[in-house]
Amino acid sequence: GALGLQMAEHLVAEGARHLLLTGRSGVMTREQQVAIQRLEANGARVQVIKADVSKAADVASLLTHATKPLRGVIHAAGVLDDGMLMQQTMERFAHVAAPKVHGAWHLHNQTLSQPLDFFVLFSSVASLLGLLVAAVDVDLPSLLVRPIDLLAAAALPVAFVAYGRGL
């Protein structure tokens, strides 16, 4: 998605030369194709692998494509399923939470043996919209706080970018 590609551009500007990018849909838009071509024109070798990080098997498969040892993980996956609070269901919540929460957990578990320099998680930008419009997305950051505390307590490199209100 857009946030992941912006982070990839930042990494390449800082000297990264091998990127393994993923998304549930792969490269879908002309803008995504142009962004990847720009990364490559700036000296990066870019692999794009279609995977759903909310599924442990997809994460395991994804990591087999790394041609170099991983130096970091940036987890910017998300699904927006906005609607009024009264319209939300457990199914919609699970659909939105899976990429953020399960994805973070699977990426963490499957990269534990690698000496990462960074592991960055992003909250949902929907938290900026407020409870009435994106009720399902707003409280996802609170679900990530405990795992982040555990990572930090284990002296693992972790950063959490939380949009909107404080945790």
Give per-residue pLDDT as tens, 122-145. 776 555 555 444 444 444 555 555
Query: Of 67 and 150, which is predicted with more confidence?
Result: 67
Asked if residues 63 and 110 have their Cβ atoms less than 8 Å apart, the reply is yes
pTM for this structure? Answer: 0.76
Q: Which of 30-39, 87-96, 138-147 has the lowest mean pLDDT?
A: 138-147
Query: Of 91 and 88, which is predicted with more confidence?
Result: 91
Asked if residues 92 and 60 have their Cβ atoms less than 8 Å apart, the reply is no
Asked if residues 99 and 53 have their Cβ atoms less than 8 Å apart, the reply is yes
Greatest C-alpha distance within the chain: 49
Strand partners, 119: 73
Instruction: Provide the pLDDT confidence category of residue 38 given band limits of 50, 70 and 90.
Output: very high
Asked if residues 144 and 101 have their Cβ atoms less than 8 Å apart, the reply is yes
Amino acid at 118: F
Interaxial angle between packed helices 140-153 and 103-111, expressed in degrees from 0 to 180 and rounded to the nearest 10: 20
